[in-house]
Amino acid sequence: MSGGRKHRVLIVEDEDNIAIALDYLMSREGYEHDRIDTGRGALERIRETRPDLVLLDVMLPEVSGYEICQEVRADKGLGDVKILMMTARGSAMERRKGLALGADGFIAKPFELRELREEVHRILDGETA
């Protein structure tokens, strides 16, 4: 990255094996990153840390990714936080719902790391889908 600060990414994922893969990828890409493994507390963490990007699982214990996405989008102070939603279901309807709620991108699990990496770069580099 040229001169600027590192992008900060918050991973909201309850499955350890997926979180480990995401952690590896974020480290390799040079992003600062953090993880929370439940929907409860995710919004507070987003408000505290102001990440550039949230990798947000749809199916979370306690509070769904859709609810978190909606809350982030309702908070004007978080307008510059990007959201990439991840779901094991990955149907067109799920995707439309996520995008309608204000997600910047949507990726179906299991995903190829290369595919995720490209989507993260697309969102953080400001390109539109």
Burial 75-110 (b: 16+ CB within 10 A, else e): eeebeebbbbbbbeebeeebbebbeebebbbbbebe
Q: Find out whether 84 and 107 touch, Cβ atoms under 8 Å.
A: yes
CA distance 4 to 100: 31
* Tens-digit pLDDT profile for residues 27-43: 999 999 999 999 999 99
Taking only the tens of pLDDT, the chain with its 129 residues reads 444 678 999 999 999 999 999 999 999 999 999 999 999 999 999 999 999 999 999 999 899 999 999 999 999 999 999 999 998 876 888 888 999 999 999 998 888 889 999 999 999 987 544
Whole-model pTM over 0.75: yes
Q: What is the mean pLDDT of the chain?
A: 91
